[in-house]
Every structure is written in structure tokens, then in C-alpha cells.
């Protein structure tokens, strides 16, 4: 006796591993146990029921070998993958004839359940699946209608993705209303797209020469990373949480490419790090607004305490000595011009003794002639006190020539 339970067993055997075809169970003699055999068996039972055969008397039919109708083609492919809800939709194109039974296998996901997207009044199907193999058999007078455009017919819910894309791996059977197989065509795959690469920066505005600590925030079990740091040192890194120095002022883009061994995703943050130009700061020990000449600079975007942005002080231990400082007639170069100017010179009681050797002689004359024509900061050579070295100073000198200073 044959009944619907036998059809059910055939349908599930078609997707199970390890079921070998024999002369007893391969009803259409195509070398495999598939949904076509389940269709043959159900068709055999219904044909006898239509003739009034009692259920207990329904027996095996005379099975015909599998026939493939070369005029009809059925295409199956993946329409889309919804990673948020965890499913992939299978589309079908069969613009020539309706389909009664289908069997196919899918790659790229671990299928946990399968649902029909066609209403039961049109396609009342029993569906079996195992390890990515799917078989569907329409009961009664229902079937999959013709589709001239890719139309979602099955939704494959998955527990895990196994590859970067989901594909129809193979189509075993596409049985039409005449019980014949059609030609089959594997259609498009669909990518598994998940935005999971993510990162943060310890600071997005830093000073020239500073380090930035980057933190990986990727999800999906990311276990490898490739960073690219425009303007940074290092310029690339495989560390999960790298620290990077930025030596030149500018605005820089940061890229993280993360992978979990199956999927790869990238996070690109354009103009993410701003590096501000550092200033050279010098110690101003005497707090006169001028840093010590010849000392090493401290590079910083913020002014350190006790530092200024110049190194022009010729004596950083004396607050009265700095560029432009007024003379104090103490014999000290207060304005840092390398000369003892008139305002800086000690009071001179021996006019003409320019070199301070207590005598007015040829040495002093040579000094005077060396700055003859000077019009400012002329020092002790300005004997007349008019701010310049000219003929008047020469006459004063000649009048004192040969004197010994007390």
C-alpha cells in the first residue's frame, strides 16, 4: 500500500546525505533519489485515487524514465541577502511553463529553515531541507506560476553566513506540470554585506609630533585588521589598537579594513585627524620677553610656562639686557647689538680715549676713522655727542691728541 507518508519519506530522502539510488527507490531511473521521485509517487497515488481505488489497494505504478523538456528553462538565483534579519531570498524565472516541484542546493549560508513566499492557494508545498539542499513539492492542483522577471519564491533563513556571497550551487530538478524536468540555469549570487568595521581616535585634533591612540570597535568577530594612516608614522599597521605619530601639520584621512576570515569591511574617515603646527619655544629665565640665544627649542602648540617664541636674548640672566633695551652707562651691551653704544658706555672723563687705555693716541684715531660717517649708535667715537661721527669729532680728537688721562 502506498500513501502520502511514502511521498513525505521520499521528499525528505531527496535532501538527506547517504541515500543511494537503487532499482527499487529510483522511480524515474535518473540515477538519484530526488524530488522528481516524490512527485512521481504522489502523481501515482492521485491517479489511482481518481479511478476510485481504495487507499489500502493503492500500489506502485509503471514508472517511466525521466524526460527533460529542452524547450523549457527554469532559472534560480539569489535575489538578496538580509543580514539584519538573517535570510536570503531565492528568485525564479520560468516564463514558459508552471513548475510543480523543485530541488536545489545553496552555498554561502547555513540554512535553518525555508518558507515559501507564494500564497498557499497558488503553491501549497511541502518543503524539506538539510545541509543547504532544498526540495519543494506542490500538493493537489497547486504549482509555482510562470514568472517572466526574477521573482522571490523561497526565503532561506540562516543561522550563519559561510562565505562572502550566497549562491545557488546546483539545481537538481525543476518538474513541470507534465511531470517532465526542464532545462535549468543557475542565476545570480548576492553578496553578504555587513557594515562591521569601526574605530575611534583618542583625539582628532593634535599638535605636530603628537601620538594618536586608535581603538578598534569592529564587530562580527573581526580578527584581523589593516590600517592606513595618511601622514602618520607608521603609515600602515596590522595591530588591533595602534598608536600613530603625526609629524607634519595637515588634515588626514584614516582607513580601517577589518576581516573575520569570511567577510571584509572597511571604515574610511575622511579628514579625520587635524594636526596643528607646533611653535618653537625658548626658556626666558629673566622674564624679559626674550629667550636665551643658542638654547634648544621645545616644540609645542601651547606656550609652556616661562618660555617665549624667540631666542634673541644675549644674556638671559639679566632682565635689563635684551634687544632694544636702553643703555645704562654701565659699560654693558644692553641692547644685544654687540657694541657698547654711547648710552651704554661708562662716563668718560678723558675725551678722545676711545679704547679706554687712559691715553689719547693713534689707536684711538684708528677706531674713530673706522666708524667715521656713522650716524647712529656710534658709541664712544661720538666725541661731540651729536649722535654721529664726523669732522666735529675729528677736531675734538685732534685737540686732545697726546694727552694722558688721569
DSSP code string of 86-99? TEEEEEEE--SS-E
Pairwise CA distance, residues 86 & 109, whole Å: 10
Q: Are residues 65 and 180 in the same domain?
A: yes
The per-residue pLDDT for 327 is: 85
Q: Are residues 148 and 230 in the same domain?
A: no
- Report whether pLDDT(65) > 60: yes
For the stretch 205-214, pLDDT in tens is: 999 999 999 9
Window from 74-83, 84-93, 175-184, 362-371 with minimum mean pLDDT: 362-371
Q: Are residues 219 and 78 in the same domain?
A: no
For cell 677736531, name the residue: 395
Whether residue 363 is contained in a domain is answered as: yes
Q: Are residues 160 and 204 in the same domain?
A: no
SS3 of residue 16 by DSSP: coil
- Angle ∠(370,374,379) on CA atoms, nearest 5: 80
Mean pLDDT, range 12-17, rounded to an integer? 80
Q: Are residues 40 and 187 in the same domain?
A: yes
The per-residue pLDDT for 203 is: 97
C-alpha cell of residue 174: 525543476
Q: Are residues 45 and 155 in the same domain?
A: yes
Mean pLDDT, range 290-313, rounded to an integer? 93
Q: Are residues 14 and 159 in the same domain?
A: yes
Whether residue 301 is contained in a domain is answered as: no
Q: Are residues 150 and 263 in the same domain?
A: no
Whether residue 58 is contained in a domain is answered as: yes
For the stretch 100-131, pLDDT in tens is: 999 999 999 999 999 999 999 999 999 999 99
Whether residue 329 is contained in a domain is answered as: no
Q: Are residues 11 and 157 in the same domain?
A: yes
Whether residue 282 is contained in a domain is answered as: no
Boundary of a domain, candidates 276, 302, 328: 276
For the stretch 217-270, pLDDT in tens is: 999 999 999 999 999 999 999 999 999 999 999 999 999 999 999 999 999 999
Domain range for residue 394? 348-406
For the stretch 368-405, pLDDT in tens is: 898 899 988 787 788 877 889 999 888 888 888 888 87
Q: Are residues 46 and 123 in the same domain?
A: yes
Q: Looking at the 3D structure of the chain, how many domains does it have?
A: 3
Name residues whose C-beta falls within 8 Å of residue 336's C-beta, 6 or more positions apart in sequence.
Answer: 312, 313, 314, 315, 321, 322, 323, 325
SS3 of residue 35 by DSSP: helix
Eight-state DSSP code of residue 347: P
- Report whether pLDDT(23) > 60: no
Boundary of a domain, candidates 276, 304, 329: 276
Whether residue 296 is contained in a domain is answered as: no
C-alpha cell of residue 97: 511553463
SS3 of residue 186 by DSSP: strand
Whether residue 213 is contained in a domain is answered as: yes
Whether residue 336 is contained in a domain is answered as: no
Boundary of a domain, candidates 222, 253, 276: 276
The per-residue pLDDT for 29 is: 61
pTM (two decimals) = 0.70
Amino acid at each position: 500500500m502506498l500513501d502520502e507518508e511514502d511521498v513525505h519519506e521520499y521528499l525528505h530522502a531527496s535532501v538527506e546525505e547517504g541515500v543511494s539510488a537503487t532499482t527499487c527507490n529510483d522511480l524515474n531511473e535518473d540515477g538519484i533519489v530526488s524530488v522528481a521521485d516524490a512527485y512521481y509517487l504522489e502523481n501515482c497515488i492521485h491517479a489511482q485515487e481518481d479511478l476510485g481505488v481504495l487507499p489500502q489497494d493503492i500500489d506502485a505504478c509503471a514508472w517511466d524514465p525521466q524526460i527533460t523538456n529542452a524547450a523549457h528553462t527554469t532559472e534560480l538565483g539569489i535575489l538578496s541577502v538580509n543580514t539584519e534579519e538573517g535570510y536570503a531570498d531565492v528568485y525564479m524565472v520560468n516564463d514558459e511553463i508552471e513548475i510543480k516541484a523543485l530541488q536545489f542546493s545553496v552555498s554561502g549560508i547555513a540554512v535553518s529553515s525555508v518558507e515559501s513566499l507564494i500564497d498557499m492557494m497558488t503553491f501549497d508545498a511541502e518543503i524539506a531541507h538539510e545541509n543547504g539542499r532544498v526540495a519543494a513539492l506542490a500538493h493537489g492542483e497547486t504549482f509555482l506560476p510562470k514568472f517572466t522577471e526574477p521573482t522571490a519564491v523561497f526565503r532561506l533563513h540562516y543561522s550563519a553566513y559561510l562565505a562572502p556571497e550566497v549562491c545557488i550551487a546546483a539545481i537538481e530538478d525543476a518538474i513541470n506540470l507534465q511531470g517532465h524536468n526542464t532545462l535549468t540555469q543557475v542565476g545570480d549570487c548576492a553578496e553578504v554585506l555587513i557594515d562591521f568595521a569601526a574605530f575611534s581616535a583618542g583625539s582628532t585634533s593634535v599638535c605636530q609630533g603628537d601620538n594618536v591612540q586608535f581603538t578598534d570597535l569592529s564587530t562580527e568577530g573581526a580578527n584581523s585588521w589593516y590600517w592606513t594612516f595618511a601622514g602618520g608614522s607608521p603609515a600602515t599597521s596590522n595591530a588591533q589598537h595602534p598608536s600613530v605619530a603625526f609629524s607634519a601639520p595637515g588634515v588626514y584621512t584614516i582607513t580601517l579594513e577589518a576581516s573575520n576570515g569570511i567577510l571584509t569591511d572597511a571604515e574610511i574617515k575622511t579628514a579625520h585627524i587635524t594636526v596643528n603646527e607646533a611653535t618653537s619655544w625658548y626658556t626666558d629665565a629673566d622674564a624679559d620677553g626674550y629667550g636665551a640665544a643658542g638654547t634648544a627649542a621645545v616644540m609645542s602648540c601651547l606656550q609652556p610656562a616661562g618660555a617665549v617664541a624667540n631666542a634673541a636674548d644675549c644674556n638671559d640672566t639679566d632682565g635689563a639686557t635684551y634687544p632694544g633695551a636702553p643703555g645704562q652707562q654701565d659699560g654693558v651691551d644692553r641692547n644685544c647689538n654687540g657694541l657698547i653704544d654711547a648710552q651704554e658706555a661708562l662716563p668718560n672723563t678723558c675725551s678722545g680715549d676711545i679704547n679706554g687705555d687712559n691715553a689719547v693716541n693713534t689707536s684711538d684715531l684708528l677706531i674713530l676713522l673706522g666708524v667715521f660717517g656713522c650716524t647712529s649708535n656710534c658709541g664712544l667715537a661720538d666725541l661731540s655727542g651729536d649722535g654721529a661721527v664726523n669732522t666735529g669729532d675729528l677736531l675734538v680728537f685732534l685737540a686732545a691728541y697726546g694727552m694722558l688721562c688721569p
